Every structure is written in structure tokens, then in C-alpha cells.
Amino acid sequence: MRMFGFQRYGGPEVMEHLEQEDPTPGPGQVLVRMTAAGVNPADIKVRNGLRTGRIPVRFPMALGREAAGVVLGTGPDVTGFAPGERVFGATAAGTGALASHVLLDASGTARIPDGVTEEQACCIPVAAGTAYDALDELSLPAGATVLMLGAGGGVGTCVCGLARDRDLRVLGVASESKRDVVTGLGAVHVAKGPGWTGRVRDLAPEGVDAVIDAVGGQALAEAAPLLHRPDALRSIADVPGAEALGGSGVTRRRTTAVFTEVAALVAAGWFAPVVTGRFRLVEAERAVAAVETGHAAGKIVVLA
């Protein structure tokens, strides 16, 4: 199989195109012919060695942790998926998504419903799934106001989109270049930069009901005083910082049931991942670079 991955930890220089034997699905695994895969900031951290002990890595390993494709086979204990079916999911432990053949974790694999493309489906396991889990954890009533830090990125755009299904108001902090993306999802754009908290206060004089953070650091610290309750803070970028402020990270549920629920929202037209960059597997390094610079809006995907 063809794959774009790494054989040691490091920066962009360790990434390379490799030829490996086609994988065989083991227990709890689904083998798919990849048609689309998502690239996320966390993939960069895995490659850099910043997720050791949390995310298993087996060299050589493809980058990426979410993919969609066509079922080629399943492990001996896996039922419910047949060859030829369109599916998407989270990659099996120690494996990656930027490859012609991908092993998915069967417990986090779901069928792609009619009306949903593989490109859309591959964005669900990481970005959309994280956004969905964060909103579920917060369990906000209709009409509540959510402050999204990093609203123009993969998770941020998904929060903006999914919030509409829950009748939530989103104030999305993002660069001016991402204004149209944020407002196109029904959120109120708040320009990042000096004075951004004052702009939030103008829009929500009594404060906000929740903060979802995809930035961390100083921005997270500045957002905390805007909250009604400190425990309504969730961060995917700076969990220690969130905990110090009374909040927490997001507990991920990478399950077939959750992924099926999110895919159903896409199929029903309530939500669609925002894909702004598409690259073929042969040019995967460009896809990773687009994410690593931090300038990309929405999602970046790699197509077979």
C-alpha cells in the first residue's frame, strides 16, 4: 500500500511517502480502501512526539486519525460491516489514515448514510466528534450563548455548525480572514486581537454561558472572566490551563453510536463540515503544511 507517514519523531522533515505491505485486519478492526482522510492539528503533535504515552505509534506509521472509505474486510470477531459498504471512523491503535489502505477501529466505525459524501464523513471522527462531545457535555439550554475560541478552525467550525441544531448562539473568535466562514455558519464573528474581550462584552453584556477553547494560553485565560460558571469551560488545546481555571478538557466518545448520530445530522442537512482544502495522497505534505501553519480555515482533507 501507499502511505504518507513517518519512521521517527520530528518536524516536517521526517515525513515521507512510503510503500508498505497491505495490512490485514485483526480483531476489532475494519480494513478500508481509503477515499478521504482528515488532517488535524493533533496529527502534528503525534508526529512531533508530543502525544507519546497517550496515542500509540508503531513505526512506520501513516499520519492522520480519521478516514472514510470502502470496506475490504474485517477482523475475525467483527460483524455488521460487509465488503463494499461505505464507512468512516477512527483509525485502529498504532495506525494512521493517510494511506491507500486504512485499518479502522470497529468500535468507532459507522456506515456513511445516503446523502453524505466520503469527504464529509472523514471529518466526523476528530473535529465534528469533538465538537459534538463538547456540546453534549455542556448540555446547554436553547438560547444559551457559547463563546468559541478558534472558531475558524476544524473543531471551531463544527461547533458553530452543530450549535444550530441545539438553538444555541455562538460568538466565534477568529481572524478577520475567517469572518465569512464563521458568519456563514450562523455564528457572530468576533475579531481576534487586542480588545477582543471587550467586543465580546458588547455582544454579551451579562457574560456567556460556556466557552469552548481551541486556542489555549493567554486567550483561554482572558476568556474565563466572561463566563457565568467556570465549570462551563472546555478546552481541546490547553487542558491544564482549563483545569486551573475551573474547567476541563473534552471527554471523547469515539463510538459507532456517536458517529452515527453526527452523520445523521449531516444527512438531514442540519450541519456540514467546512472543507477548504483538498489534496491527493501524492501531495499529502501540502495538506499537512496547510494545517501546521495554522492559517487554514475549516477542515483539510486528503483524497485517494
Establish if 75 belongs to a structural domain: yes
Residue 160: pLDDT band (50, 70, 90) is very high
CB-CB contact of 144 with 210 (8 Å) = yes
Cβ atoms within 10 A of the Cβ of 47, count? Answer: 24
Are residues 35 and 104 part of one domain?
yes
The per-residue pLDDT for range 118-141, each reduced to its tens digit, is 999 999 999 999 999 999 999 999
Are residues 136 and 98 part of one domain?
no
The residue out of 227, 244, 261 marking a domain boundary is 244
Beta bridge partners of 145: 169
Are residues 205 and 94 part of one domain?
no
- Around 26, how many Cα atoms within 13 Å sit in the side-chain half-sphere? 6
What integer pLDDT is reported at residue 295 of this predicted model? 82
Are residues 13 and 97 part of one domain?
yes
| Distance (Å, whole) CA 154 – CA 112 | 20
73-77 CB contacts, 8 Å cutoff, 24+ apart: 73/24, 73/25, 73/30, 73/31, 74/25, 74/29, 74/30, 74/31, 74/106, 75/25, 75/26, 75/27, 75/28, 75/29, 75/30, 75/106, 76/27, 77/27, 77/28
State percent of the chain over pLDDT 70: 100
Are residues 283 and 210 part of one domain?
no
Task: Give the range of the structural domain holding residue 45, as residue numbers without chain letter.
Answer: 2-123+273-303
Are residues 140 and 118 part of one domain?
no
Kindly report the CATH number assigned to the domain that includes residue 278: 3.90.180.10
Element at 279 (helix H, strand E) = strand 275-280
Domain count, the chain: 2
Among residues 126, 89, 83, 130, the alpha carbon closest in space to that of 109 is found at 89
Are residues 140 and 189 part of one domain?
yes
Q: Which residues contact 296 (CB under 8 A, 6 or more apart)?
A: 153, 276, 277, 290
Least confident of 128-132, 142-146, 161-165, 212-216: 161-165
State percent of the chain over pLDDT 90: 97
Residue type, 256: T
* pLDDT of residue 175 exceeding 90: yes
Are residues 168 and 69 part of one domain?
no
What integer pLDDT is reported at residue 294 of this predicted model? 82
* pLDDT of residue 53 exceeding 90: no
Establish if 55 belongs to a structural domain: yes
* pLDDT of residue 67 exceeding 90: yes
Among residues 97, 120, 125, 96, the alpha carbon closest in space to that of 110 is found at 125
Establish if 201 belongs to a structural domain: yes
Are residues 177 and 102 part of one domain?
no
Are residues 165 and 115 part of one domain?
no
Establish if 106 belongs to a structural domain: yes
What would the 3-class secondary structure string for 60-86 be? CEECCCEEEEEEEEECCCCCCCCCCCE
Establish if 253 belongs to a structural domain: no
Kindly report the CATH number assigned to the domain that includes residue 165: 3.40.50.720
Are residues 136 and 119 part of one domain?
no
Establish if 199 belongs to a structural domain: yes
Are residues 178 and 109 part of one domain?
no
Establish if 267 belongs to a structural domain: no
Establish if 103 belongs to a structural domain: yes
